[in-house]
Amino acid sequence: MTELLPNYLGGQWSLGCGTGSTLLDPVLGTPLVRVDATGLDLDAGFAFARDVGGAALRALSYRERAALLGAAVKVLQANRDAYYEIATANSGTVKNDSAVDIDGGIFTLGTYAKLGESLGERQHLVDADMVRLGKDPLFQSQHVLVPTRGVALLINAFNFPSWGLWEKAAPALLSGVPVIVKPGTATAWLTQRMVQDVVNAGIFPPGALSVVCGSSAGLLDALQPLDVLSFTGSAETARLVRSHSAVAQHSVRVNIEADSLNSAFLLPGEDASSESFGLLVKEVVREMTVKSGQKCTAIRRVFVPETLYDAAAQAIAARLSSISVGNPRNDTVRMGSLVSRAQLQSVREGLQALQSQTDTLYDGANMPLVDADPAVACCVGPTLLGARNADAAAVVHAMEVFGPVATLLPYRSSDHALELIRRGQGSLVASIYGSDPQRLADTALALADSHGRVHSISPDVAASHTGHGNVMPQSRHGGPGRAGGGEELGGLRALGFYHRRSAVQASTSVLNLLRDSDAAPSP
DSSP 273: T
Q: How many domains does the chain have?
A: 2
Q: Are residues 469 and 508 in the same domain?
A: no
Q: φ and ψ at 299, to 5 degrees?
A: -70, 125
DSSP H/E element including 91: helix 80-91
**Looking at this protein, which amino acid is placed at residue 207?**
G
Task: Classify residue 224 by burial, with Cβ atoms within 10 Å: 0-12, 13-18, 19+.
Answer: middle
Judge whether 68 lies within some domain.
yes
Q: Domain range spanning residue 11?
A: 3-258+486-521
Judge whether 479 lies within some domain.
no
Q: Are residues 315 and 274 in the same domain?
A: yes
Q: Are residues 106 and 141 in the same domain?
A: yes
Which are the catalytic amino acids? Answer: 257, 296
What is the full DSSP assignment across 292-316? GG--TT-EEEEEEEGGGHHHHHHHH
Q: Are residues 190 and 339 in the same domain?
A: no
Judge whether 430 lies within some domain.
yes
Judge whether 254 lies within some domain.
yes
Judge whether 480 lies within some domain.
no
Judge whether 219 lies within some domain.
yes
Q: Are residues 201 and 323 in the same domain?
A: no
Q: Are residues 352 and 446 in the same domain?
A: yes
Q: Are residues 369 and 516 in the same domain?
A: no
SS3 455: strand
Burial profile 198-221: b = 16 or more Cβ within 10 angstroms, e = fewer: bbeeebbbbbbbbbbbbbbeebbe
59 vs 175, 203, 215, 420, CA distance in Å?
Answer: 11, 15, 33, 51
Q: Are residues 93 and 112 in the same domain?
A: yes
CATH classification of the domain holding 216: 3.40.605.10
Q: Are residues 55 and 200 in the same domain?
A: yes
Q: Are residues 234 and 112 in the same domain?
A: yes
CATH classification of the domain holding 311: 3.40.309.10
Q: Are residues 106 and 225 in the same domain?
A: yes
Task: Classify residue 491 by burial, with Cβ atoms within 10 Å: 0-12, 13-18, 19+.
Answer: middle
DSSP 367: P
Q: Are residues 445 and 490 in the same domain?
A: no
pLDDT computed for residue 520 by the predictor: 63
pLDDT in tens, 234-251: 889 999 999 999 999 999
Judge whether 417 lies within some domain.
yes
Q: What is the pTM of this model?
A: 0.95
Instruction: Characterize the bridge pairing of strands 209-211 and 179-182.
Output: parallel
Judge whether 327 lies within some domain.
yes
Contact between residue 453 and residue 469 where contact means Cβ atoms under 8 Å apart = no
354 vs 261, 351, 393, 424, CA distance in Å?
Answer: 13, 5, 9, 15
Q: pLDDT tens digits for the chain (523 residues)? A: 799 999 999 999 999 999 999 999 999 999 999 999 999 999 999 999 999 999 999 999 999 999 999 999 999 999 999 999 999 999 999 999 999 999 999 999 999 999 999 999 999 999 999 999 988 889 999 999 999 999 999 999 999 999 999 999 999 999 999 999 999 999 999 999 999 999 999 999 999 999 999 988 999 999 999 999 999 998 899 999 999 999 999 999 999 999 999 999 999 999 999 999 999 999 999 999 999 999 999 999 999 999 999 999 999 999 999 999 999 999 999 999 999 999 999 999 999 999 999 999 999 988 999 999 999 999 999 999 999 999 999 999 999 999 999 999 999 999 999 999 999 999 999 999 999 999 999 999 999 999 999 999 999 999 999 999 999 999 999 999 999 999 999 999 999 999 999 999 999 999 999 987 666 666 7
